[in-house]
Structure 1
Amino acid sequence: MKSIDQKWGYLIVLSLIWGSSFILIKKSLLGFTPIQVGGLRILFASVLLFLLGFKSLKTLARADWKWVVIAGLSSSFFPPFFFALAQTEISSGVTSILNSIVPLFTTLVGIALFGLALKGRQVLGVFIGLLGTVVLIAAGMESNVNQNYWYSLFIVFSALGYAFNINIVKKYLSHLTPLAVTTASFGVAFIPALIILLYSGVFNQFVQNTAMQQAVWYLLALALLGTALANILFNKLIKLSSPVFAASVTYLIPLVAVLFGFLDGERISLIQLFGGLIILLGVWLVNRRKQ
């Protein structure tokens, strides 16, 4: 019972943290380019994680690093850049909604490559949650006709990366602490992100750029809370629960993100709220236990 309560607690906290990340990306883009937002997000998060978890890297065996590299690139390196690029054309609320396909991808990747077995009720829950996502996307497209939805492909590729990461961590890295897994993953992403930042010129521009100096606080919150802390909590959630349950956090994130977007002037409709209720039904079905 305690582990059940804990995993729901982690799910709710992560929904709040990651749900606010999309508006933080939006505010960060007011001062930085998408490439700079992605790179600095990785850089700031990595520094904090190295301070907290550098000693935990000793617990990794040589065989673990193969999976850490794959997981790190798929979840810690590419998505920060992809999400920032997507939000140059798509609103923060709609971006978070598109991210809800993670549980579906997690299920499909888990079945195809990792031997994941699901009950019929869980599969039904995944597809009901996906239906709610489709409703939200359709409503978003109707109310935001000027947005370029080709940029949604960046979110699709990110979701696929998260799906690989979740299954890898659950099957091959669950013997490690969440801090060790998170620190190692960002260790993989750190060097290429730093090289990209050096070529972007952000360190030379920052001193004289007022917009960057104002936006950096949003970026710090995004990196330290929405990236470093959230990934530690998420890896803990994967360890406590099933891959599908962990991925279902992306069904709750849009509810928080759309609310923040609304408070920031983005449009929200009753149809979007209805889609959110369908998503909640899907989450409940995926995680309901028989009495």
Structure 2
Amino acid sequence: MVQSLSHDGSDIKQLQERDPDIVCVLKWLKEGQRPPRGRMKGAGRGVRILWHEFARMALVDGVLCRVVALSDVEQTQQIVIPGAMVPEVLRHLHGGPLSAHLPVERTLARACSVCNWPSMYADIRAWCDQCYACQRRKSPVPHQQAPMKSSLAQRPFQRVAADILELPITSKGNRYVLVVEDYFTKFVNLYAITDQRASTVAECLFNRHILEHGVMETLHTDMGRQFESEVVKLLCERLGVKKTHTTPYNPKSDGMVERLNRT
């Protein structure tokens, strides 16, 4: 599996030598022993895990591996994956051509046959849980739950929706439109912006909308990265604005502004 990535043995060796946790193990192997337990106080979690696994560590063709005995006569060598390679390995393990988006336990078993890293189980579980393809493929939730209802506004600025609309780039370099609509009055404001970065969206919301029209009680958006960013959350927190969003893959609660964008 590791050989099929865009790294050969020399690349992996170089990345291991740049990884701060693995560098410690390489130093211990060169010295022939690991440091006493007392010296590990204050060390990072990754280094501590590798310290406990030191007896299984060995250099194979210059690459750090974890050697695991499968029986009295059989063993396997797991390449210790440096942190810089983990995202690529996760993509290949779970979503590669021969992976078929296996569940957590089977993805973990596949990983253990060839590689290892300190936070492997937690990383694989998080990767599988957040996998877009897997979420779309899951069976729908049974309908015993209470039906979702649209939130109705009873006064202006009680609930305001925002969305991003992409259009052909203009002569001024603007490619996107920040759409802001009040749920009660249905009044719409359109703001041309050059990009949809979180900082651009937050600055536009504050300087061009809030300062002119006032602070809304609730800001409702989809789950776009720019709206769920820390800078937008911080803006809402500082202004006392409640931030809500649509549910994943079911943006019906933001239907008002979505319908406007289609027109």
How does the TM-score come out when normalised to structure 2? 0.18
Decide which structure has greater strand share: 2
Decide which structure has greater helix share: 1
Pick the structure with greater CA Rg.
Answer: 2
Question: Higher relative CO (CA 8 A, sep ≥ 6), structure 1 or 2?
Answer: 1
